[in-house]
Amino acid sequence: MRKSSRKHQTGIAKIFIPIIILIVIVGLVFFFWPGYPPNQFLQSLIAGKPFTQQIAQINTGDKIETHEMPKFLNIEFKPGVDQSDEVEMRKGFTIMDFYLNQWFGHSITKKSAVVVEVSDKDSKFQETNGTIEFIYRTLSQDWQQPKQVGAQYKMDMRSRAAAHEYVHLYQINQGCANVGREGEKVKWFLEGEAEWLSYKSMEKSGNLPYSFDANKMIMMQFMMGGGNFSQLSSYERAKAVNIDPSLYGYFAMAVEYLIKDRDIKSLDGFCASLGKGQELSAAFENAFGIPLQKFYSEFEAYRQNL
pLDDT digits (tens, 9 = 90+) for 59-113: 445 789 899 999 999 999 999 999 999 999 999 999 999 999 999 999 999 999 9
Residue range 179-184: mean pLDDT, rounded: 80
Nearest to 235 by CA among 192, 277, 295: 192
Mean pLDDT across the chain, nearest whole number?
Answer: 85
Domain chopping of the chain, boundaries: 2-47, 65-304
Residue range 295-301: mean pLDDT, rounded: 98
- Which DSSP category does 239 fall into? -
Question: Does the pLDDT of residue 306 top 50, yes or no?
Answer: yes
Q: Are 222 and 253 in contact (CB under 8 A)?
A: yes
> Whole-angstrom Cα distance, residue 37 to residue 34?
9
Residue range 235-262: mean pLDDT, rounded: 87
Give me the helices (H) in the chain, please: 2-32, 37-47, 83-104, 141-153, 158-174, 187-204, 214-224, 248-259, 265-275, 280-288, 292-304
First to last CA, the chain: 66
Beta bridge partners of 133: 113, 126
The percent of residues above 90 in pLDDT, for the chain, comes to: 63
- pLDDT single digits (tens) 134-172: 999 999 999 998 888 888 878 899 999 999 999 999 999
pLDDT at residue 184, as a whole number: 86
- Which class in CATH covers the domain with range 65-304? mainly alpha
Amino acid at 24: V
> Whole-angstrom Cα distance, residue 216 to residue 252?
12
pLDDT band (50, 70, 90) for residue 44: very low
Phi, psi of 171 (to 5 degrees): -60, -40
pLDDT at residue 249, as a whole number: 94
